[in-house]
Amino acid sequence: MEIRRAHASDLPQLKAIGAVAASAAQWTQQQWLDIFHTEAPARLAWIAEDRNGPDQGQGIGFLVARGGGPEWELENIAVLPGFRRQGIGRALLSALLDEARALQAERILLEVRASNRPAIRLYNSKGFQLLARRGGYYRNPDEDALVLVHSY
């Protein structure tokens, strides 16, 4: 597996991963395009590629964040179902944490479904802590969001 910064040419792979990952935010075409065309605040994306399987170079996970300045936000993260629990989400999250630290971020925020225990465990393992709960934040199904924060 290799983690690298994503480029606009990776957009088809990012969208395909997001489409099959139930926990990923389901974005419109414009939201996907905005990743590579928004400058203030900057939006950054990473892609995880399979380097060992039959489809070498295939995208197997991604992370998108909005950043620059003291506060960053993890906007979307997904790993293909067949590649979960192999450290890919952790590696993507580490890439974000390293970049934010290098650019002198003070904190990173994210929202996660209250029922998404695997994601919450991952975030907690990387130093994210509960900041707040947003009642009824998610739809289909209706559910609260937990707001987590990682402070440097």
- Per-residue pLDDT reduced to its tens digit, 118-144: 999 999 999 999 999 999 999 888 999
The residues assigned a catalytic role are 111, 123
Q: What is the pLDDT of residue 91?
A: 98
Chain position carrying tokens 């088809």: 12
Q: What is the pLDDT of residue 88?
A: 96
Please give the Cα distance from 87 to 78 (Å, whole number). Answer: 12
- Per-residue pLDDT reduced to its tens digit, 11-40: 999 999 999 987 788 898 888 989 998 877
User: Looking at the 3D structure of the chain, how many domains does it have?
Assistant: 1
Please give the Cα distance from 87 to 118 (Å, whole number). Answer: 12
Please give the Cα distance from 63 to 54 (Å, whole number). Answer: 23
Non-local CB neighbours of 39 within 8 Å, separated by 6+ positions: none
What is the rounded radius of gyration, in angstroms, for the C-alpha atoms of the chain? 15
Q: What is the pLDDT of residue 53?
A: 73
3-state secondary structure at position 33:
helix
pLDDT above 90 for 54: no
Q: What domain range is 130 assigned to? A: 2-151
| 144, containing H or E segment | strand 143-151
Instruction: Return the structure tokens found at 136.
Output: 């009824």
3-state secondary structure at position 98:
helix
In CATH, what number is assigned to the domain containing residue 24? 3.40.630.30
Please give the Cα distance from 99 to 46 (Å, whole number). Answer: 11
- Per-residue pLDDT reduced to its tens digit, 56-81: 889 999 999 999 889 999 999 999 99
Q: What percent of the chain has pLDDT over 70?
A: 100
Tell me, rounded to whole angstroms, the distance of Cα 25 from its chain centroid.
9
Please give the Cα distance from 72 to 64 (Å, whole number). Answer: 11
- Per-residue pLDDT reduced to its tens digit, 92-119: 999 999 999 999 999 999 999 999 999 9
